[in-house]
Amino acid sequence: LSIVGFTVILLGLAALIVTLETKSLFFLLLTTILIGFGHGPTFAGSLALTNHISPDESRGDIIASFYVLTYLGVSLPILGLGFAARWVGLNNAIIIYTALMAAMILVSMTFWIIDSRKERKALG
- Distances 55 to 16, 50, 62, 66 between C-alpha atoms, Å: 39, 10, 9, 14
- Give residue-wise pLDDT tens across range 57-101: 999 999 999 999 999 988 998 899 999 999 999 999 999 999 999
Q: Which residues contact 13 (CB under 8 A, 6 or more apart)?
A: 31, 35, 98, 101, 102, 105
Specify the pTM.
0.82
